[in-house]
Amino acid sequence: MAQSQKKLNINVSFEGEFAQYLTEVAQAWNKTIPEVLVCLVKEEFEAEKEMAEIIKERDMPEAKTVRNEDIDWDKILSAKTIKDE
């Protein structure tokens, strides 16, 4: 269902702490709240695109998947690193 749209209007409501945050950011940036939201969404999409590129570059189909619970994090986090030496 891919559709090409030049403009998409969306009505959203915010309340509480997030509404206050958006108001303060808009004032600090001297922008309207919709302008701030567009800026934040664009930044997030760019970050997601960059992350997808990194994942694509580092993808190794033959790599073994290791479950988080199978890792001894205490051992790894307590190990000396090159930085520690």
pLDDT digits (tens, 9 = 90+) for 29-55: 999 999 999 999 999 999 999 999 998
Q: Average pLDDT of 58-80?
A: 86
Spatial distance between the Cα atoms of 20 and 18, rounded to a whole number of angstroms: 5
pLDDT of 5: 73
Residue 69's pLDDT band (cuts 50, 70, 90)? very high
Spatial distance between the Cα atoms of 64 and 69, rounded to a whole number of angstroms: 15
Domain count, the chain: 1
**Residue 8 within any structural domain of the chain:** no
Q: Which domain holds residue 32?
A: 16-84
**Residue 5 within any structural domain of the chain:** no
Rounded to 10 degrees, what is the CA torsion of 11, 16, 17, 23?
50
Q: Which structure tokens are listed for 38?
A: 């567009």
pLDDT of 7: 84
**Residue 1 within any structural domain of the chain:** no
Does the predicted model carry a pTM greater than 0.85? no
**Residue 35 within any structural domain of the chain:** yes
**Residue 38 within any structural domain of the chain:** yes
